[in-house]
Amino acid sequence: MATEKTLPQHAPMNLFRSAGAELVVGGLPLAQLAARAGSTPFYAYDRGLLTQRVAELRAALPQAVKLHYAMKANPLPALVAHMAGLVDGIDVASGGELAVALESGADPHEISFAGPGKRATELRQAVEAGILVNVESFREIDLLATIAREFGKAARVAVRVNPDFELKSSGMKMGGGPKQFGIDAEQTPQALAGIGKAGLAFEGFHLFAGSQNLKAEAIVEAQQKSYELALRLAQDAPAPVRFLNLGGGFGIPYFPGEQRLELAPIGVNLAALVERAQTELPQAELVIELGRYLVGEAGIYVTRVLDRKISRGQVFLVCDGGLNHHLSASGNFGQVIRKNYPVAIGNRMDATEKEIASVVGPLCTPLDLLADRMELARAEPGDLVVIFQSGAYGASASPQAFLGHPPVAEVLV
Ligand SMILES: *Cc1c(COP(=O)(O)O)cnc(C)c1O
């Protein structure tokens, strides 16, 4: 009898199929895809999978809930344009992202802008474009009042509230306790008074408690508490709530032992909130905003093996890209303990000969580690290492200039 595997495994990476030895992305076998990208390393994003993910979400959540794409997860203009055609709105976090969102074909009325430390120039861009600003400080309220007067235009605002609770089991907490994000719930009535006095066009509330959560019950609890908090704060609002962004935080499985998020309980809870909102906040549209969950699983990072080295019995596959392109897979983007992303040798998917190997990049630092002693197909120079779950927080979230290697290519297929 085979010994039972007790080590935690990666969730199956079954969104991409293989044809013979090769992984297939967007209908292209890996070698063709590499030729299409022009050089390694590269990121590839599969349009079909992006479309499929949005459809799955729409099926699991109530129709009345609007779906926004938080483009900081992946700001590639072609990808943002594809997403703009699928979702109900785009959330941006800088003037640079706003420019891409405006060019993506998204309706400016459905673009919202969150983030601490908005510059006056960014707020001018926002008012001029007619997008919704999620204000995060009293300074932003004052600045918007001045800009609205200057332009003779309405400044559309929602208050981003730093809630008085946290999103449990979240990879990154972005609300609750002292935070640079949003206006503390306790100070929100005062902010609402300021918005009313300044004559800004108040539209609602934005709450974002955290990111990368795989526990449906934690997300349900945060959405429930966010709704209750918004309902309380609405009593002091200068106008009816028309927009209630309950955040997101839906995670994807990266590491051994992690399982895909269950959408059904979230759908049930949102349906109950939609029902309540019909009487309690009758003009409000409920919104969730997702980045990683929409795009993360649709993307891979591909790097070519340059060298195969054995050091004191341990196999190292030295590749042409590493943490300079994919900081998060190296474990240096907010992880407390480094763990391996799911990795495969993408041109040897049907290999029977396996070995334990480490995948490293070309940078002269021990941090440049993409896979630490994983079981992989036996690989040789020229082979293509694939890192799955790489559609979010990849190229744009990595220190590409570090050590002066070429930037990474990106293709949407
Ligand atoms: C980062 C961020 C998101 C996206 O988070 P994901 O974990 O990628 O879904 C959404 N909203 C706000 C305000 C953010 O800061």
Give per-residue pLDDT as tens, 284-318: 999 999 999 999 999 999 999 999 999 999 999 99
* Residue 390 near residue 79, CB atoms below 8 Å: no
Please tell me the chain's helix, strand, coil percentages from 3-state DSSP, rounded to the nearest 5.
35, 25, 40
Instruction: Give me the amino acid identity at 38.
Output: G
Closest by Cα among 8, 32, 50 to 384: 32
Mean pLDDT for 324-353 is 96
Which residue from 69, 87, 91, 97 has its CB within 8 A of the most atoms of ligand 1, so it is best to mutate? 91
β-sheet with 28-29: strand ranges across: 18-19, 22-25, 28-29
Give per-residue pLDDT as tens, 130-183: 999 999 999 999 999 999 999 999 999 999 999 998 777 777 777 888 999 999
Give per-residue pLDDT as tens, 49-96: 999 999 999 999 999 999 999 999 999 999 999 999 999 999 999 999
Distance, in Å, from the CA atom of 363 to the CA atom of 376, rounded to the nearest integer, reads 22
Give per-residue pLDDT as tens, 202-231: 999 999 988 999 999 999 999 999 999 999
Kindly tell me if the per-residue pLDDT of 128 is higher than 80. yes
Domains and CATH numbers, the chain: 18-45+299-412 (2.40.37.10), 75-290 (3.20.20.10)
Which residues form ligand 1's pocket by a CB distance below 6 Å? 70, 72-73, 91, 114, 174, 208, 211-212, 248-249, 289-293, 392
Distance 90 CA to ligand 1 centre (A): 11
Q: What whole-number percentage of the chain has pLDDT above 70?
A: 99
* Locus of tokens 């779906």: 67
Kindly tell me if the per-residue pLDDT of 1 is higher than 50. no
Structure confidence at residue 7 as a pLDDT band (50, 70, 90): confident
pLDDT of residue 209: 87
Looking at per-residue pLDDT, the higher value among 7 and 228 belongs to 228
* Residue 353 near residue 380, CB atoms below 8 Å: no
Distance, in Å, from the CA atom of 263 to the CA atom of 53, rounded to the nearest integer, reads 12
Distance 290 CA to ligand 1 centre (A): 6
pLDDT of residue 4: 58
Give per-residue pLDDT as tens, 22-36: 999 999 999 999 999
Mean pLDDT of the chain: 96
pLDDT of residue 165: 85
Mean pLDDT for 378-406 is 98
Residue nearest to atom 15 of ligand 1 (CA): 115
- Residue 138, C-beta contacts closer than 8 angstroms, at least 6 positions apart: 183, 190, 191, 194
